[in-house]
Amino acid sequence: MTQLIAVWTVLGVVTLALALYRKVLMMREDPYVHIDEGEQRLIPQQVATFRKIEKVDHWGISLTIVTAVFGLALAGAYLYQVAPR
């Protein structure tokens, strides 16, 4: 059971690290849409940043779900072990 708790903890830490990475990406993101002639050079950079954030969001959602389900399964297994028979 201890190994499973360690795996769950690692999953939680990785999920948290991904959330912090997303926060850093969002801080660097330019919130303005550049459509003017002089701003054309900024568009590829904005698109690249958006795609990175999209990938991080996908993995973040997936890892959050896996971590939550794994935690619930651990809780269920623990309750099953300590329940009087």
pTM of the model: 0.78
**Sequence-separated (6 or more) residues with CB below 8 Å from residue 37:** none
Using alpha carbons only, what angle is made at residue 52 by residues 50 and 58, rounded to the nearest 5 degrees?
100
**Residue 43 has what pLDDT?**
80
Tokens 């690290």 belong to which residue?
17
d(C-alpha 82, C-alpha 85), whole Å? 9
Give the CA distances from residue 80 to residues 6, 13, 67, 70, in Å, rounded to whole numbers and listed in that order. 19, 26, 20, 15
What tens-digit pLDDT sequence spans the chain (85 residues)? 789 999 999 999 999 999 999 999 888 777 777 677 777 887 888 888 889 999 999 999 999 999 999 999 999 999 998 888 7
